Amino acid sequence: MTKALQNDWIWASGTLWSELTMLGPSTRECWNDAPGCGSGFSVPEIHAWANLNAFIARLTRADLAGFWVYAIWAIRDALEVERKDYEPAHKPERAAKLLDAYVPAAAAWIIVMGRELWEKDEDLTPKNPNQEDPARGGALWKGKSAFCKERWDLWATRFEALSGMEDLMTETREIAAEIFARMEEIKRTAAP
């Protein structure tokens, strides 16, 4: 190991993996490689995106990392944005292709952490007005930047609507229907 590397902040604790120092930056770097950023919207890319979201959800559920806001990001992209064909950011892609990529990733959060997301009631509105609002809603969410029951209800309604959207892949529609049913079951069986 070089002197420069020994003095790097990564090694300040004397250990690397026991504290997972690079987990946050590494996770964010992977997150930034969402579908459409390199490999387009191929089926392997869609599955990799859902798997990454499931992995991040598992890290969060195990309390190894506090990546709760990633749930909002994934679910917002799938359910809180009105997708229109040929969005400027994804000109060659149709809205259905975006949803085919984003819906399974959002579903991964409900599969792994559904009960925890239902129970989480936290306002994430920044205290400083100059601070960015990472938990803000998409155009379809008019509520606060928070985990709350009202946002959960919007998500469930959107999964239900997407389950009947003929332009989506059959797999995406089936996932949306399954997740809607799971969300309704979680809500129904939740302690009052």
| 3-state SS class at 122 | strand
Residue tagged 């991040």 (tokens): 56
Tell me if 111 sits within 8 A of 179, measured CB to CB.
Answer: yes
For the stretch 90-104, pLDDT in tens is 555 578 888 999 999
Q: What's residue 101's pLDDT?
A: 93
| 3-state SS class at 74 | helix
Q: Is the pLDDT of residue 186 over 70?
A: yes
Q: Is the pLDDT of residue 86 over 60?
A: no
Query: What residue ranges do the domains of the chain occupy?
Result: 69-125+132-192
For the stretch 104-135, pLDDT in tens is 999 999 999 999 999 999 999 999 988 999 99
Higher pLDDT, 24 or 114: 114
Q: Phi first, then psi: give them for residue 51, nearest 5 degrees.
A: -65, -40
Q: What's residue 94's pLDDT?
A: 79
Cα–Cα distance measured from residue 177 to residue 39, given in angstroms and rounded to the nearest whole number: 27
For the stretch 149-183, pLDDT in tens is 999 999 999 999 999 999 899 999 999 999 999 99
In sequence order, the β-bridge partners of residue 96 are none
pTM: 0.85
Burial class, 21, CB count within 10 angstroms (exposed 0-12 / middle 13-18 / buried 19+): middle
